[in-house]
């Protein structure tokens, strides 16, 4: 019965997770959407109606949620790249031990505000440090960041396409690991294509994680998400533990 229910939800969810569902839910619920035991504040203009609907029917980042619950260790620190609304951040905080540290990187200041609000709303702020910066491997300590209209459309300004841009601090994965003294940690990553640059420029840092939960994305300059997964596995440094569409769970291979 549980399996049947799951299949029904996966079929019906995308049908009802539409703009009008989100608009009605936000109005009825006062922009406080219940989601997998959390309450998510969606009052920011950057949260569109489709996202609100996806939250309502538990379709929001569902593969990431399942993999975090299944594979994320409870006894290590966590570095999350791309905090967005804070849904996965709260899920992580509730899963890991109270004495473990959690660092959440978010480049968009509007989303950082939403992230803080939802961590506090769900009593998940303790032990969490928000790093307002963009993952970048260019020269200099800052980078231009394009502010998207939706929570998932912000990006490095080289791909701005006429969107408004701001200057934000730039940081690499390796720098984050060093600055925060991360020696035993898991990595959760959803940064809209910038993961390609980590693989190109910072593979050693990526391989330091105990486990990696990553949503992969295609880019015009690099290829599809399948190309990225193939490129990661071709390095011979990671084992693929699980995959659902573009979301993968990777385990770095340790020297024998």
Within a 10 A sphere around the Cβ of 244, how many other Cβ atoms? 13
Checking if the pLDDT of 103 tops 90, the result is yes
What residue ranges do the domains of the chain occupy? 1-59, 61-252
What is the predicted pLDDT for the residue at 113?
Answer: 97
Average pLDDT of the chain, as a whole number: 90
Distance, first Cα to last Cα, the chain:
43
Query: What pLDDT score was predicted for residue 20?
Result: 80
Token couple for 253: 């291979």
Please report which confidence band the pLDDT of residue 214 belongs to, taking 50, 70 and 90 as the band edges.
Answer: very high
Q: How far is CA 46 from CA 37, 74, 121, in A?
A: 23, 32, 18
Q: Classify strands 185-189 and 77-81 as parallel, antiparallel or unpaired.
A: parallel
* 61-252: CATH architecture: 3-Layer(aba) Sandwich (3.40)
Cβ contact 72:102 at 8 Å:
no
Q: Across residues 212-236, what is the average pLDDT? A: 95
- Give the residue among 117, 105, 98, 103 at the shortest CA–CA distance from 46: 117
**What is the side-by-side strand order in the sheet with 238-244?**
128-131, 102-105, 77-81, 185-189, 212-215, 247-252, 238-244
């Amino acid at each position: 019965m549980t399996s049947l229910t799951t299949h029904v939800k996966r079929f019906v969810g995308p049908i009802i997770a539409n703009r009008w569902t989100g608009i009605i839910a936000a109005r009825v619920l006062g922009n406080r959407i219940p989601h997998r035991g959390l309450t998510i504040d969606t009052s920011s203009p950057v949260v569109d109606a489709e996202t609100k609907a996806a939250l309502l029917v538990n379709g929001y980042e569902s593969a990431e949620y399942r993999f975090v619950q299944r594979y994320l260790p409870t006894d290590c620190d966590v570095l999350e790249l791309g905090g967005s609304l804070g849904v996965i951040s709260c899920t992580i905080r509730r899963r890991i031990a109270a004495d473990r540290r959690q660092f959440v990187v978010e480049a968009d200041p509007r989303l950082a505000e939403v992230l803080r609000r939802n961590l506090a709303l769900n009593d998940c702020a303790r032990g969490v440090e928000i790093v307002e910066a963009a993952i970048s491997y260019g020269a200099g300590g800052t980078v231009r960041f394009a502010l998207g209209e939706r929570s998932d459309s912000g990006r490095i300004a080289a791909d701005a396409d006429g969107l408004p841009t701001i200057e934000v601090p730039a940081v690499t994965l390796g720098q984050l690991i060093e600055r925060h003294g991360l020696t035993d940690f898991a990595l959760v990553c959803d940064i809209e294509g910038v993961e390609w640059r980590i693989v190109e420029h910072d593979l050693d840092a990526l391989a330091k994680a105990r486990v990696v939960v990553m949503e992969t994305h295609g880019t015009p300059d690099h290829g599809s998400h399948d190309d990225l997964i193939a490129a990661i596995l071709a390095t011979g440094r990671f084992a693929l533990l699980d995959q659902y569409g573009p979301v993968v769970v990777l385990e770095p291979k340790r020297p024998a």
